[in-house]
Amino acid sequence: MAESATFMSGATSFSSQGNSTASPRAEPGEAFVSDQIVFTPRSYSAPSSTSPSSPSFSPQKMGILSPQIGTTSGDLDINSTPPCSVAGMRSPSPFPLGLDSPPASRLRGSPDPSTTDRSIKTLEQKRKEAVSLAYVWPTEHRPAIQHDEFTDIEIPTIDLTCLISKDPVARKQVVAQVRAACLNWGFFHAVNHGIPHELLERVQKQAQRFFAMPKEEKLKVERDPKGYTGYGNAGVKPTDSQPWSEGFYLANDSSVDKYSQVLWPHGDNEDFGNSYREYNEKAENLAAQLMDLIIESLEVNADHFQPYLHNASGLLRWNHYPPCPQPHKSLGMAPHTDFNMLTVLHQGDIGGLQVQKDGKWVAVRPNGDALAINIGDTLQVLTNALYKSIPHRAVVNRTQTRISLAYFYAPTTKSEIVPSPELLERTNQSSIYKRFTMEEYLAVKKGQLLNTLQHFTLEPLTQSLAFPVHTE
């Protein structure tokens, strides 16, 4: 109860991305108040059925500066289509939002009889309904598997102790595990990753503290349409329903201190900046080491990858998924692939992450000690799709607030993303991708969270590539 009350008070008031007439400061639902939307058939017929030393983040480096990026990781203009999982796009306040919840009968999927007579609806009623409906996804997109429906099909878990012990034999084994995980899943859980639990808890606590603030406070640090950091939510396609979540994007630049000052003008929360910086350094270091393991697993010379790693940097997105009255009809984050090379995700002990395996959704069993690592589109291209960037999504649940911390490790915007020539030679392949820069990719990602790389593909892959070397 306390959690949902908190969230209610934290309702945001983003405008709908899909509605060009929406006011950026509209109250929840205002952007949707029109008969056309309120009475839309769908709404009503819903009966259920690298290098650690790499310098601080810069938009140019990340390529996330262009107007917007989005969902599950990528970015940047809150006013237009989300470029990728990092970018921000505005959406109506996560309905989350208690006060805006739809009538109980609608939550069960039946039309509310009190709303069937258009003539007696007040503007306020219309607003509430419209906001609620904005978070209801069409049947074909609803999650058939809920947040805790785990099976024995699980992403691999890899113990990274070798990064600390420097034991070469153990490292070789880990490299083989990384190769198998990248070939078969595109995702794995890393344990003994070197980021202290206590630090992850401090960052989680900061995220909780921020999202619990009243919306007016959060909007003081709203993401600028031309910027890449600040309060905003993950992207969805303009034509999609809204995600049941909100986000806060942070990068290693002066904005962190600025946000700290705006949110805590009396200087009473120093750990906001401190925990962010400590975490950013550790996550960047880990991502760089994981990239080294991945390159080793490809058994190619690392030279081709150096330019991408040299100025790579990270963008952190805190994702907040409040309890949702209709989790089976909503999505916390729409299916997407990540735009970057590698994502380091902390998801705590509450399930919600789901990944696609052989075309089916699999719920990832949370492991509080582990970080989920996944390959992004950029790395898929560098490996000519030997290692794939796998679609994933976040589902929500009825009772628990979930916060995840997604760290996106990416090359600079100006980087041209080209597969390793050595890998091409050894696999006897030519590149399946046109040449393109990160900037060009991000421009496409804005409107296409899934299958973004199709836009840059010369010939669709008809069969999976085999790994060119022995796999122990």
HEC letters along the chain = CHHHHHHHHCCCCCCCCCCCCCCCCCCCCHHHCCHHHHCCHHHHCCCCCCCCCCCCCCHHHHCCCCCECCCCECCECCCCCCCCECCCECCCCCCCCHHHCCCHHHHCCCCCHHHCCHHHCCHHHHHHHHHHHHCCCCHHHCCCCCCCCCCCCCCCEEECHHHHHCCHHHHHHHHHHHHHHHHHCCEEEEECCCCCHHHHHHHHHHHHHHHCCCHHHHHCCECCCCCCCEEEECCCCCCCCCCCCEEEEEECCCHHHHHHHHHCCCCCCCHHHHHHHHHHHHHHHHHHHHHHHHHHHHCCCHHHHHHHHHCCEEEEEEEEECCCCCHHHCCCEEEECCCCCEEEEECCCCCCEEEEECCEEEECCCCCCCEEEEECHHHHHHCCCCCCCCCEEECCCCCCCEEEEEEEEECCCCCEECCCHHHHHHHCCCCCECCEEHHHHHHHHCCCCCCHHHHHECCCCCCCCCCCCCCC
Nearest to 273 by CA among 288, 258, 295, 291: 258
What CA–CA distance (Å, rounded) separates 331 from 37?
20
- Closest approach, Cβ 79 to ligand AKG, in A, equals 20
Residues near ligand AKG (CB under 6 A), total? 15
- Closest approach, Cβ 353 to Fe ion, in A, equals 8
**Angle made by CA atoms 151, 171, 410, in degrees to the nearest 5:** 70
Decide if residue 73 touches Fe ion (CB under 5 A): yes
- Closest approach, Cβ 218 to ligand AKG, in A, equals 18
Decide if residue 15 touches Fe ion (CB under 5 A): no
Choose the stretch contacting ligand AKG; rule: CB under 6 A; options: 133-141, 345-353, 378-386, 452-460: 345-353
Residue whose CB is less far from ligand AKG, 317 or 388: 317
Decide if residue 392 touches ligand AKG (CB under 6 A): yes
Decide if residue 353 touches ligand AKG (CB under 6 A): yes
Sign of CA dihedral 100, 101, 106, 109: positive
Residue whose CB is less far from ligand AKG, 190 or 300: 190
Decide if residue 91 touches ligand AKG (CB under 6 A): no
Residue whose CB is less far from ligand AKG, 84 or 291: 84
- Closest approach, Cβ 352 to ligand AKG, in A, equals 5
Q: Which of residues 401-420 bind ligand AKG (CB under 6 A)?
A: 404, 406
Residue nearest to ligand AKG (CB): 72
Decide if residue 383 touches Fe ion (CB under 5 A): no
Residue whose CB is less far from ligand AKG, 284 or 338: 338
Choose the stretch contacting ligand AKG; rule: CB under 6 A; options: 149-157, 208-216, 217-225, 344-352: 344-352
Partner touching 319 among ligand AKG, Fe ion, none, CB below 5 to 8 Å by kind = ligand AKG
Choose the stretch contacting Fe ion; rule: CB under 5 A; options: 17-25, 72-80, 104-112, 136-144: 72-80
- Closest approach, Cβ 287 to ligand AKG, in A, equals 14
What CA–CA distance (Å, rounded) separates 80 from 71?
13
Residue whose CB is less far from ligand AKG, 38 or 334: 334
Residue whose CB is less far from ligand AKG, 252 or 347: 347
Choose the stretch contacting Fe ion; rule: CB under 5 A; options: 29-37, 69-77, 197-205, 223-231: 69-77
Choose the stretch contacting ligand AKG; rule: CB under 6 A; options: 38-46, 106-114, 251-259, 346-354: 346-354
Catalytic residue numbers? 402
- Closest approach, Cβ 247 to ligand AKG, in A, equals 8
First to last CA, the chain: 52
Decide if residue 319 touches ligand AKG (CB under 6 A): yes
Partner touching 354 among Fe ion, ligand AKG, none, CB below 5 to 8 Å by kind = none
Residue whose CB is less far from ligand AKG, 390 or 423: 390
Partner touching 394 among Fe ion, ligand AKG, none, CB below 5 to 8 Å by kind = ligand AKG
What CA–CA distance (Å, rounded) separates 396 from 399?
9
Decide if residue 240 touches Fe ion (CB under 5 A): no
Decide if residue 129 touches Fe ion (CB under 5 A): no
For tokens 């990832």, the residue is 364
CB-based contact 21:96 (threshold 8 Å): no
Decide if residue 72 touches Fe ion (CB under 5 A): yes
Partner touching 295 among ligand AKG, Fe ion, none, CB below 5 to 8 Å by kind = none
Which residues in this chain contact Fe ion in the complex, by CB under 5 A? 72-73, 85, 338
Which residues in this chain contact ligand AKG in the complex, by CB under 6 A? 72-73, 85, 317, 319, 333, 338, 345, 347, 352-353, 392, 394, 404, 406
